[in-house]
Structure 1
Amino acid sequence: MQKVLVARSIFPDVVERLREYFEVDWNDGPALSQDELVRRLADKDGALTAGDPIGAATFAAAPRLRVVSNMAVGYNNFDIAAFNASNVLATNTPDVLNESTADFGWALMMAAARRVTESERWLRAGEWRGWRYDGFLGGDIYGSTLGIVGMGRIGQALARRARGFAMRVLYHNRSRVAPEIEAELNAEYRSKEDLLRQADHVVLVLPYTPANHHTIGRAELALMKPTATLTNIARGGIVDDAALAEALRANRIAAAGLDVFEGEPSVHAALLEVPNAVLTPHIASASETTRRAMANLAADNLIAALGAGPRAGRPPNPINPEVLGKART
């Protein structure tokens, strides 16, 4: 029987599905260190991971490994060049989390704009003494301008939500989306700089790549309105967290909502100190329905890639399909 590693704690019934086909080594506890991850992969044919770094050193120590199934859409934790060099298949879990992630991005944007967590902390501290006309004044969402950086599936889901709030929608993307999508979403393409200057609320939903590192830094923050908010539901490293904390402290922008961070689970200390930041621990896809769908899709990818189940040899979501059918090197 082929052997697989489930490197993270996931729903037990999904692990039981895998056990119908494989001998399963399940890490139902804290994330493995890199050394322990590599050690436990040494005799495995496949793995189900969630953000664990996988690259050439892993493959050198795990000669049987043929597929790594990532329980996420983003795969910046994978060295795809190393996957291709070793003929190891990589898979991910797109689409099933689009709406939940867009919902959460909207919630973060609104919480930042309307100072929800800031006012709650103040209330819990016993500071509320009565109504004031200027108490926690924030920014409106309805009728404002939304700037979406990254007009993929989740960006488009955000744009659809904007229609119910009578928002003008601007977007920036590596390339323009099809004219019919622009028309459907009533979205206007802008350069990144123009979008930052015009938007009242900027939401980041682009993938992390070296080219996208610090897409939002000091220069970009300086372009934004002092009343604007920034929401990041994409990946840590897309925003220069130190520069953002500095801009928030100086009120160069009004507020930020962040679900992802550079070096997470560590959070830049300065972000923890500014009151106008809403901070959450990378939970944008964390509805039970969505996380179950992600886990089951990751399992489907692993089962099919290792030649089992009804889709044997045809995993639903290969990242590098060019290695399918090739011998491991």
Structure 2
Amino acid sequence: MSAGWVAGAVRAKALVGRCPGAVGAREIARGPTLDDALRRLATTPYARYARTAAGLPQAQRAVAATVLWHLRVLAGWLPPGGARLLVPLAAGFEIANVVARLPAPEGRRAEAPEPYRLGALETAWRSLERAGTPAELRAALTASPWGDPGGDTPWALLTGMRMAAARRTAVAVPSARRWAQGRALLLAARELFVHHRSLPEPVRRDAARLLGTRAPAAASYQEFREHLPPATGWVLADVDEPGELWRAEARWWRTVQSDGAAMLREGRYGPRVVVGAVAVLTVDAWRVRAALESAARSGRPGEAFDALV
């Protein structure tokens, strides 16, 4: 194993060791107010970007920005070419940048936040940033590793990017394929059976690569479950109807956490340790963001937060 991978793995473990974890998230969630939660947040690594947060959206974005900063630092410790492993794992930040550029729903006009600074972890952001219309965004995506989303409506653009992120992760990060399949499954199930929207053809093709051809073409939720590959059935175990998909999502997060922690415990220095660290860092941020929302609701945790911690 190269010195670069050893250094990256050591750095990755150090970053994970500073996470608040489930116990810290519980303390943040108990509030009892958002101000109390922000004071607790200031004692964690998330303080770097959270110092100036004035409300819940800003605080949650600060948590996400901290994770991105950690991934960029981690990428800098990896050997030449190693950062490519992290690019698909950081795809959600590029998606969030696109979300901020899309037309806002009526009645929800707000100033767009500063884009996340992706550095070496960008896929095509510099091209996407120059796009002035949804049609130009679609063209830029089509010419990039994201691929054609199948439409230029806000929904089609984002659904296409989210499914493409799962596809890219499964191909480029073999140790994260299980998570990518789970994410694709949840996205497809929610679009098909909660929102009752047909998947654009490119999205259906990406879903088929991860879930087989039969599940994405299913006419009912039950049929969807029956046609899933055995390796993905765990996501929807005991989730008998689409209205309970939040339970499946909580299970997905728990699985990413447990798988990532297991990779960190393997004791070898290499890509799997780094991927495991990214998983644990990402789950910790998700948990802290949910904890902040609970504090903003006077310390009343939501069901998904309770299911995870």
Instruction: Establish whether TM, by shorter chain, passes 0.5.
Output: no
Higher strand share: 1
Higher helix share: 2
Q: TM-score, normalised by structure 1?
A: 0.28
Higher-Rg structure is: 1
Q: TM-score, normalised by structure 2?
A: 0.30
More contact order relative to length (CA 8 Å, sep ≥ 6): 2
